[in-house]
Amino acid sequence: MALREIRLEGDEILRKRSREVEVIDDKIKELIKDMDETMHSANGVGLSAVQVGVLKRIIVIDVNYDGTPSIILINPEIVKTKGKEEYQEGCLSFPNKFAKVIRPSEVTVKGLNENGKPITVKGKDLLAEALCHEIDHLDGKLFVDIMEPGTLEYIEKEEEKN
């Protein structure tokens, strides 16, 4: 496993559409492990492959940080949404930047796990937000595109000042 470099705001790759994964080979499995490690090392709740420079439709999510395995989704698709909720949202590609975004309060997503098995993930609140945010990345869409106007804030976290 290895940490990968997170692509930041302004990097053209973040605007590109990621391609479907057709074969889950060792390279893809290694990418997924690296993504998971990179996300945790950056204290993020989600990461898409494009954010580490790979245009493949893969996302990893961990909203719990309780040691349970991350959610891994290959070729994810939102199949159902319910409700609306306002979230204070950030992104590992936009360090210290946050904005208010309105997204569904519940979503159902279908995709494949890292073994190629079809899975369905249902998420509420923060998990719903993370699923929508990461799936948007796969189409080159960023939270700043859909944020509520005038809500972008720069918040430096305490631990980074020390």
Catalytic residues: 134
Looking at beta carbons only, is 91 or 128 nearer to Ni ion? 91
- In the chain, how many H helices and how many E strands? 4, 8
Q: Which residues bind Ni ion (CB under 5 A)?
A: 91
Q: Cα separation of 91 and 142, whole Å?
A: 9
CA distances from 110 to 50, 71, 76, 85, 123 (A): 19, 12, 6, 21, 11
Looking at beta carbons only, is 25 or 148 nearer to Ni ion? 148
Looking at beta carbons only, is 51 or 75 nearer to Ni ion? 51
Q: Give the chain's length.
A: 162
Phi, psi of 120 (to 5 degrees): -120, 130
Write down the least CB distance from residue 26 to Ni ion, Å. Answer: 26
Write down the least CB distance from residue 91 to Ni ion, Å. Answer: 3
Side by side, the strands of the sheet bearing 153-154 are 85-89, 97-103, 153-154
Write down the least CB distance from residue 93 to Ni ion, Å. Answer: 5
